[in-house]
Structure 1
Amino acid sequence: MTDQPARLLTMAEVVKRTGICRTNIYRLIARGEFAPVVRLSPSRIAFLESDLAAWLHSRREGSAALLATLEASRKTPSKPTYAPIHLNQLRHAPANDAGDLYGNTK
């Protein structure tokens, strides 16, 4: 059984596969948040296909966890901290000495 050599992906292929522009890929690389880089020359980089696949999988796992958290928070209704009021009620409210909504007194 022969092992296939690791396939290297160019930046253009990575942009096409991820949908992320080159600038943002370089930003992610600088922050250490992207797949490891294989430096081919001082001005040329590539990525191992397996590393990129693992990175994409980890992003999907993180997204799934985030979506699960958001779904759970949607299921628990939160009560409003104030009573809803219609704008017309504010316009026709009687004047009082306490001031307006912004604390301005007359």
Structure 2
Amino acid sequence: MSWVDIGALDDIPAQGARVVRTKLGCVAVFRTADDQVFALADRCAHKGGPLSEGIVHGHKVTCPLHNWVFSLETGEAQGADSGQVPTFPAKIENGRVLLDAARLQQESAA
């Protein structure tokens, strides 16, 4: 994989997110309470709400518009809701957050 550095882990608040804008759309990069990072398209599969503005709990995010809950690991809607948002490989190296550059170029994030 080809990785791109998008910033320091400390720039993302615990249980929060930051948005990375790409040519293909916006990607929400989430930091969990246990300092793991996940990247999802920043558009809810239900009504297109900004997931980056949602509430992070465990390894899930709740959309701020209609309370749909998505797995940060798989992008799948949880519970009675059905749908999925694209996920993007993310990792931490030396305190920096890296995303898979090739994947960001292959698939539209929005």
The TM tier, using the shorter chain, reads: under 0.3
In terms of fraction of residues, the more helix-rich structure is 1
Higher relative contact order (Cα pairs below 8 Å, separated by 6+ residues): 2
TM-score, normalisation: structure 1: 0.24
Higher strand share: 2
